[in-house]
Amino acid sequence: MTTVVLGLDGGCFELIQPWIDDGVLPNFAALTEEGVAEDMQSCLPPVTCPNWQCYATGTNPGKLGVFWWEAVDRDAQKIENRSAAGDFDGTHYWRLIDGSTAVINLPTSYPPSELNGIHIAGGPGAEQSGYTYPAELETELREQYDYAVHPEKMSLLSRDAPDNPCIDEIYDLIDMRFDVLEDELSTGNYETIHVTVFYLNVLQHFYWDWNMVKQAWERIDKRVGNLVENEELDNLFVMSDHGSNEITTTFRINTWLEENGYLHTHSGISDYLHRLGITKERIRPVLAKIGVEWWARRLLPERVQMYLPDEEGSVNKSAKEDVIDWEQSTAIASGQGPVYLLVDDPAEREQLANELMEALSGITDNQGQPVFDEVLSGDDVYTGEHLDDGPDIVLNQAPGVHIEGKVGSDSVFGSPSKWRGENKDTGMFIAHGSDIDGDADLADMHILDIAPTLLHLHGEDIPRQMDGEPRTELFLPESEPDKRAVAYTDSIAQEARRTETPDQDVTGRLEDLGYME
């Protein structure tokens, strides 16, 4: 049996259903009519990091130890990137399946780990090399497919530049992923194959439902048609790490915290650069146009680069860490949802959490619409050994809202500036194949359910460590996985991952994508 899992970053029916109805995506139409198609809940916050790892391990961020692209270390008063493979605990489900696996472009899996098969890591990271296992596969990929992990012109991508050359690069990356997938599938060597199309969601972030996004989906639809016709394919799962929706307003959580006395800041290098008119918006386009931006990033320490403020004087990540008055502040937030309390005493911390949650729950935008669907305690969202390292409060963005995490803005609310589309907590799930019951009802499908479902499909025991449930109602009555009883195991080895990550310009890459505003 060969199962392919096609991961479409940010894929959702909210965006593509009109195109399906108009006949623009005929192969997706066939998949949804013949198979099972449902909305699927993501882990909060609904972001690439950590949701691809949540899917691959079947465990929530409290067990993974990663909650967003950055982590706030309260004791060390540091803000650090957390997106390398070695940052995550947990074991990928394909390691528990008796057979070879091909993993292609899984985000946050760089550097690649050893496995029974091949691993082509996705970003961030891998700007230069070292993104494959076995190592010699990298040369083969470049020679056969001109393979790349990232587009070279990413820093030029802009919501106001629909003719940007980076768009064609992204189309090429989409085709590369499918070229490798089809060739590996045709060998008949694999029990499971996973492939992620990541830069699809980058297009959606910058352009939402514009024509260049529709063209990307049309390209994917054509390749899905080829995939279904491949004789080596038995079952196809199509899924996303989260969904997407159009942004109508931005909410600057750290500005709100500062205005309400929870966050205190002081002047730093970024303030002086802003007074001199040295900002990201003025410097980076000039460097990019003359082709030296990435050279400048490699030569300058990441920390120095992050001191560049935006036009409003706002900063993020390393510079944010330096302008925070850690002794006076009681709360700090990241973008897209996590809020960390900087209070040691447990009783005081609980009181502060309740106070903040009540205040945040009542916030509305300038049109009187709620800013958050939910304001939740971290204890209610996460479980696991890393719970104490995670956020105390999790803000689930309301439709159309983008939470910015930068520090230094003058106003709490703003209009979309870099992105047109933002993540939401419902992605997509489609199952189609010889073992799939097209009439199955998969209500309340969760991203954590995929790993245990795949393990059961392939006749393996499910570790009790996993947080999801095997969705056995997915399988045809009297099929082999339907007749077989679900089996569990208490024994699961931690996956050994490389803990030393080569020095890569991860922050610059994330900033180009819009995550580090």
* Residue 292 domain-assigned (yes or no): yes
The CA-CA-CA angle for residues 377, 381, 387, to 5°, reads 85
Please identify, among 316, 345, 375, the residue that sits at the C-terminal boundary of a domain: 316
Q: What residue type is assigned to position 462 of the chain?
A: I
Is there a single domain that holds both residue 98 and residue 186? Answer: yes
Is there a single domain that holds both residue 77 and residue 151? Answer: yes
* Residue 193 domain-assigned (yes or no): yes
* Residue 462 domain-assigned (yes or no): yes
Pairing of strands 101-106, 78-81: unpaired
* Residue 151 domain-assigned (yes or no): yes
Is there a single domain that holds both residue 438 and residue 346? Answer: no
Is there a single domain that holds both residue 282 and residue 215? Answer: no
- Domain harbouring 502, CATH code: 3.40.720.10
pLDDT of residue 261: 97
SS3 341: strand
pLDDT of residue 294: 47
pLDDT tens sequence across 19-35: 999 999 999 999 999 99
* Residue 517 domain-assigned (yes or no): no
Is there a single domain that holds both residue 331 and residue 410? Answer: yes
Per the structure, how many domains does the chain have?
A: 3
| % the chain with pLDDT above 70 | 84
Among 92-101, 325-334, 379-388, 500-509, the range scoring the smallest mean pLDDT is: 500-509
Confidence of residue 493 (pLDDT cuts 50, 70, 90): low
Is there a single domain that holds both residue 119 and residue 177? Answer: yes
Please identify, among 399, 415, 431, the residue that sits at the C-terminal boundary of a domain: 415
* Residue 364 domain-assigned (yes or no): yes
Average pLDDT of every residue of the chain: 89
Confidence of residue 6 (pLDDT cuts 50, 70, 90): very high
Is there a single domain that holds both residue 33 and residue 61? Answer: yes
Is there a single domain that holds both residue 295 and residue 363? Answer: no
Cα–Cα distance for residue pair 98/113, rounded to 1 Å: 17
Is there a single domain that holds both residue 254 and residue 385? Answer: yes
- Domain harbouring 404, CATH code: 3.30.1360
The torsion region of residue 282 among left (phi > 0), alpha (psi -120 to 50) and beta comes to alpha
Is there a single domain that holds both residue 15 and residue 100? Answer: yes
Where in the sequence is the domain holding 233, given as residue range(s)? 3-245+422-506
Q: Can you list the pairs that 226-231 forms with residues at least 24 positions away whose Cβ atoms lie under 8 Å?
A: 226/178, 226/182, 227/4, 227/6, 227/178, 227/181, 227/182, 227/185, 228/27, 228/30, 228/31, 228/432, 230/182, 230/185, 230/186
Is there a single domain that holds both residue 336 and residue 310? Answer: no
Please identify, among 361, 390, 415, the residue that sits at the C-terminal boundary of a domain: 415
| % the chain with pLDDT above 90 | 76
* Residue 340 domain-assigned (yes or no): yes
| Choice between 290 and 475, residue whose per-residue pLDDT is larger | 475
Is there a single domain that holds both residue 373 and residue 496? Answer: no
* Residue 146 domain-assigned (yes or no): yes
